[in-house]
Chains A and B, each alone.
Chain A
């Protein structure tokens, strides 16, 4: 990139915008290492808040709850989302069905939360880890279906037929051909659902009952004022999410070095 034609006003604007977006996060990260309890005062670098975190029993329990919920909800979402994606791609042309499947992604979380709460109460399903897992799977399945679907759309079914033709039965064909080809989509779906689940607050708040998930724990701590421990938690979360999102991105993007289908080898 060159400097030619760069407007100084634009540079200032861009700088301000970036500061607006990232300064709060930067401040949070810095403060998580501040030895002082007061946000205004920098008393030097310290890991004391991270240490405190390690000994905060309630916090650790909430993190464990959240991880259990996220893992199981992810598993359910990926399995059923993938099946759903297959169904939508290969066994129906109904637009209504298709939109119906993706609707949970568009419904406001508050509505989903109230709806599920009423539903669980109506069928007297005990509120707790189990109900949150089900609640998160509701949109998790829709997300997973949408992501796997994009992978299935470019799928050449002749490849499956070639496998059958060469003597492989249906199930091994699915395991050796279909699954490996759509695998990146499934991994991406898993990472996205997992990431969304671990910081989901509203729906969990409605459906968790006495169970405290990590976002709920943070929310309740904040009611007594922001302690630097929260900054430390947020920093760890941030790091964790970024790693997950980056991995998802690497999996979902097309393979590097793929050449156009009819490029001929140069004659040597």
Chain B
């Protein structure tokens, strides 16, 4: 076992009645890493986070902290702190006392508590509000108090359950940067739960994508985007164009085209496999234009074009299969009008073989 892993989750299983909230989940989280658990609502993210914190006993599997099995130890015996989705601030205490709570629980000397509370109030930029009660704060301010309260004990791992979900869009984007900065500054290991792929991509060093209690892929954001393990991950992380195909010897075929030579990753011959391509890798061909690269070329009709910032997003409806292909290009290169016939080229080198995710 490598010593740099702060948390090792080994084949964790947790059931609620018939629901399998965690299905043989194994994850290693490294020192000082910003790790994200990403997945749609109900996929087991909160369950996993709570298991690390000591709430809810696993049915099987183990969680190790610095190589030691946490077993059934209680939340107050784990050097791990959690920022709750609802913030869970103590309503009858001032901001200052909320933040000091964890240190008081450890019976630290009074002057040390005061010094550390002051320091954390500084990091969270909350000095002016130290004597307010939670109900006198805005959503963003409450979020800061919850964060301050969770970092003050300098836990080995800080667990954050949807820390930004309750904030409005603009504040959320600011706080993504802010959280990342704070994590650098105080040098803590962060595990963040989110259902927002953009948020995970912005903040995390590595992401575990979850679905139905399973971990589908663990990778840095770039790799998730470039080499998604399956169709689900591919579509969940950004936009992915998909063509339904079948594995054959030496690659994948889609109806009406020659075999695309591609590594099918051990999928059995004749089994269905999708070919995926990112919108930015698709080329919209002008009339009569030929492409040098080996590509799948499909004829269709331009449905709509949307301009977002400096980019254009064109939706092409392919004749044969009625599949919609999204093409992204810099705005200046687009020259096709809505409704006009066109061709798109999908270079082999940009195609990804995408199996179905495990059920």
Contact = CB atoms under 8 A, between A and B. Distances in A.
B141 interface: yes
Chain A interface extent, by class? 20 to 34
B289 interface: no
B166 A165 contact: no
Nearest to A169: B76
A166 B140 contact: no
A259 interface: yes
Interface in B21-72: 53-55
A164 B135 CA distance: 22
A169 B168 CA distance: 35
Nearest to B139: A262
Given A255-B135, A263-B138, A166 B105 contact: yes
Nearest to A266: B138
B134 to A, nearest CB: 10
Interface in B73-112: 74-76, 80-82, 84-86, 88-92, 101-102, 105-106
Interface in A158-215: 158-159, 161-169, 172, 177, 180-181
Interface in B129-147: 135-141
Nearest to A261: B139
Interface residues of B, number: 33
A167 B88 contact: no
Most chain A CB within a 10 A radius of its CB, from B105, B135, B136: B105
Contact of A165 (B76, B89, B106, B137): B76
B153 interface: yes
A265 B136 CA distance: 9
Contact of B82 (A165, A257, A261, A265): A165
A168 B149 CA distance: 13
B92 A180 contact: yes
B75 A164 contact: yes
13 contacts: A165-B54, A165-B55, A165-B75, A165-B80, A166-B101, A166-B102, A166-B150, A166-B153, A167-B106, A167-B153, A181-B91, A262-B139, A264-B138
Interface of A: 156, 158-159, 161-169, 172, 177, 180-181, 255, 257-259, 261-265
Given A158-B86, A163-B105, 5 more contacts: A156-B88, A163-B90, A165-B76, A167-B76, A263-B138
